[in-house]
Amino acid sequence: MKALRSKRTRLIIACITVVVLIAVILFLVFGRESDKTDDTKEYNEIGLEIKPVADAVSEAKNVIGNTYQNLTLPDDFEIICGDTLYNMTEYRMPEDNNVNAKERCMDLVRAFVEDSYDESLLDEEFNRPDGTIYSVYYGKDVFLDGIDFETITEEELLELEKKHKEDEHYSIYAQSDGYINVLYSWNTAESWADIAFLKPDVYIIGKDNIDGVSYNISGTQYSLSDAVEFATEKITSDYMKFFPGCDGVVPYAVYVFTNEKGESIYEMSFEWLFQGTPAMNDGYLNNLDADAMYLYPCTVEIIEPDKIAQIDMFAPFPTEKQEVEKIITLEAALSHLEAKLAPESNYEITDIGLKYCRYHEGQGDPEHEVRPYWCFTVGTGGTKFGTYSPRKIIYVDAQSGAIYCYNSMKGEFEFKKE
């Protein structure tokens, strides 16, 4: 009996030994393989996973369906990105500096005015105090030239104002660094003097269906899709040559303002493309003395079908470029953002993109770094100056992981976590 017990004990010990050996072998095989997988992952300085740009972009949509405590993701989104990303040094001058400044201004004006260009309407020319930027006005108060306001009668003044309103009279401001602002022709401006107080219908291109949508534009039903196609083609064919750092534009949104007469105008917002990757356009930078996420506006307003009434364009000239080989994955960026947000902050994200932006620290030096950021749009609304744009944007630097939340209604950051 004793021998039988001893035999059974040895058998149990042998079985336990076999089980332990199998467990050790499984751990060594699969555990090491797991370690090997972890070892192949790469992380940035603060521990966020990074991948080659193409891989990070192709895997971005894997986050759809993920749940977070402080974030709600859209059901779908589209990442527009070129083959290569860069960190770019941006300076507000083209490569030839001020050599062809005056000619560039003239060309900008001619591109807008086209056949009706009249050199005599170049009313004012001036340089910046440091001589770096040449600027012109075209048609600024030319109708007042030679008027003696001390002797003019009220009747003559009324007649002058009437003629002024009837004439096709543009006011154009152009800078040699590529910036152009074209104001309304005066005979159509009066109807839209209070545009800032009108609430628009908002159409986000690519998200809202604009097929078959049209409004009364100067007495004609003009479709949104035709207007977007016309404006995109016009910018590409006539104005892109003035912005050598850019290779195109992408229509972002259309804001439709309708006055009390039932007449509408289209204000279109575009995003610049730098080798296939968009630059964020979130309205206008209103205070150069404040910290901001600097913006590159490209807006067009249409009052008459197939005719631009106002255009406002501004884009950087990259002077140096350094390729970005790897970026934070979108999943890592969202997890990082989730961890940094206040509990139950509940940001409802309506769109996600990978875009070029620059963080602007006050007035400072005109030279800044433009970098790729993961951009999260939160809601839609208007700025305090009446220009409609995404209400809030949360930016996560795609390399460092620094976080910024900019409120375009207030023109200030809600929070920064660098």
Residue 77 has pLDDT above 60, yes or no: yes
Same domain flag for 294 and 179: yes
Of residues 155 and 248, the one with the higher pLDDT is 248
CA–CA distance, 384 with 283 (Å, rounded to integer):
11
For 12-35, what is each residue's pLDDT tens digit?
555 455 444 545 444 444 443 334
Name every residue whose Cβ is closer than 8 Å to that of residue 238 and which is 6 or more positions away in sequence: 111, 112
| Total residues belonging to the chain | 418
Same domain flag for 352 and 383: yes
Same domain flag for 287 and 326: no
Look up the pTM and report it: 0.77
Same domain flag for 304 and 335: no
% of the chain with per-residue pLDDT over 70: 65
Beta carbons of 293 and 160 less than 8 angstroms apart: no
The Cα-based distances of 82 to 77, 232, 400 in angstroms read 17, 19, 20
Same domain flag for 154 and 289: yes
Q: What angle do CA 61, 66, 69 make, to 5 degrees?
A: 135
Same domain flag for 354 and 295: no
Identify the top-confidence range among 3-7, 53-57, 133-137: 53-57
Last residue of a domain, one of 318, 347, 377: 318
* DSSP letter assigned to residue 303: S
Is the dihedral angle over the CA atoms 328, 332, 334, 338 positive or is it negative? negative
Instruction: Say if residue 181 is exposed, middle or buried (CB neighbours under 10 Å; 0-12, 13-18, 19+).
Output: middle
pLDDT mean across residues, the chain: 76
The Cα-based distances of 397 to 77, 301, 404 in angstroms read 19, 32, 9
CA–CA distance, 354 with 330 (Å, rounded to integer):
9
Average pLDDT over residues 381-397: 66
Beta carbons of 325 and 44 less than 8 angstroms apart: no
CA–CA distance, 380 with 390 (Å, rounded to integer):
5
Same domain flag for 188 and 275: yes
pLDDT of residue 378: 87
Same domain flag for 307 and 409: no
Same domain flag for 154 and 240: yes
The count of domains in the chain is 3
Same domain flag for 285 and 302: yes
Q: Residue 17: which domain range?
A: 1-40
Q: What is the helix (H) or strand (E) element at residue 324, kind and residue range?
A: strand 317-324
Instruction: Say if residue 12 is exposed, middle or buried (CB neighbours under 10 Å; 0-12, 13-18, 19+).
Output: exposed
Q: Of 36-45, 77-86, 131-140, 216-225, which gets the smallest average pLDDT? A: 131-140
CA–CA distance, 252 with 204 (Å, rounded to integer):
6
Beta carbons of 387 and 283 less than 8 angstroms apart: yes
Residue 62 has pLDDT above 70, yes or no: yes
Last residue of a domain, one of 285, 318, 351: 318
Last residue of a domain, one of 290, 318, 346: 318
CA–CA distance, 254 with 265 (Å, rounded to integer):
10
Same domain flag for 77 and 193: no
Q: Of 38-42, 306-310, 334-338, which gets the smallest average pLDDT? A: 38-42
Structure token digits, residue 2: 């004793």
Same domain flag for 172 and 293: yes
Phi, psi of 332 (to 5 degrees): -65, -40
Structure token digits, residue 5: 């017990």
